[in-house]
């Protein structure tokens, strides 16, 4: 049973999830193929800036064909056999909850590792995963700055860029958590204290914070990272003004 479960839909024990163990969480992440790579759109609020800087093009996902093939296969399974996918996903959550308890950790579930799906729209017997697992914590980043989580156990961080900075700062003033990408993460930005967001992925611990994320260089052949940094609106720096 354990052998069948491991690493089927969720990813565990990568550098990002291992960081969360340091703060008491066993983190599991669902990595689907972003935007329309699979033929299905998993990022309704994507734009050319985030697509060019997508994390799918950095790290192992950027240079390991098998990883991308697996993400595409999972994405097609999600859209083409959604009922099976959700039930399998739900079963894996139960499985990893037991694994977390064995390790003396809490389970942390991230459904949008490389996607931006509205999981409120997907239910099993009329209930969302957040309702089924009321005792667990779910976290996600989203570029949909109008999205509101109706569940206390589903924590959202809003991803901003240069042209959504005003809206992001408004969300911050309303008690929400926002995140932006910097080439060098500052201690302060536009008068707001910056919290480094790369130490771990337990973003549920960051209430009403402005998270600074370090720019991850793209790894695919022929890319000019300097040119991207100069022109991409996703990257914030001290020269950007509202």
Q: What is the pLDDT of residues 62-95, one digit of tens each?
A: 446 788 899 999 999 999 999 999 999 999 999 9
Residue extents of the structural domains in the chain: 2-236
pLDDT tens digits, 23-62: 999 999 999 999 888 999 999 887 776 766 665 555 544 4
The answer to whether residues 25 and 202 touch, using CB atoms and an 8 Å cutoff, is: yes
Give the chain's length. Answer: 242
The answer to whether residues 64 and 52 touch, using CB atoms and an 8 Å cutoff, is: no
pTM for this structure? 0.88
* Those residues with Cβ within 8 angstroms of residue 225's Cβ, 6 or more apart along the chain or in another chain: 217, 218
Write the Ramachandran bin of 28: left for phi over 0, alpha for psi from -120 to 50, otherwise beta: beta
């Amino acid at each position: 049973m354990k052998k069948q479960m491991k690493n089927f839909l969720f990813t565990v024990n990568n550098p990002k999830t291992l960081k969360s163990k340091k703060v008491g969480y066993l983190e599991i992440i669902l990595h689907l193929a972003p935007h329309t790579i699979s033929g299905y759109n998993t990022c309704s609020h994507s734009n050319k800036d985030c697509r060019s800087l997508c994390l799918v093009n950095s790290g192992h996902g950027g240079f390991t064909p098998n990883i991308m093939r697996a993400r595409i296969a999972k994405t097609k399974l999600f859209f083409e056999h959604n009922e099976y996918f959700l039930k399998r996903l739900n079963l894996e959550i139960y499985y990893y909850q037991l694994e977390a308890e064995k390790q003396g950790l809490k389970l942390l579930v991230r459904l949008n590792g490389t996607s931006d799906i509205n999981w409120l729209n997907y239910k099993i017997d009329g209930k969302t995963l957040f309702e089924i697992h009321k005792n667990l914590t779910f976290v996600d980043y989203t570029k949909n700055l109008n999205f509101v989580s109706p569940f206390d156990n589903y924590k959202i961080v809003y991803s901003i860029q240069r042209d959504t900075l005003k809206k992001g700062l408004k969300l911050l003033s309303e008690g929400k958590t926002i995140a932006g990408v910097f080439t060098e993460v500052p201690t302060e930005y536009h008068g707001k204290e910056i919290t480094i967001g790369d130490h771990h992925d337990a973003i549920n611990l960051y209430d009403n914070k402005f998270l600074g994320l370090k720019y991850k260089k793209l790894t695919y052949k022929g890319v000019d990272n300097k040119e991207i940094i100069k022109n991409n609106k996703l990257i914030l720096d001290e020269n950007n003004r509202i």
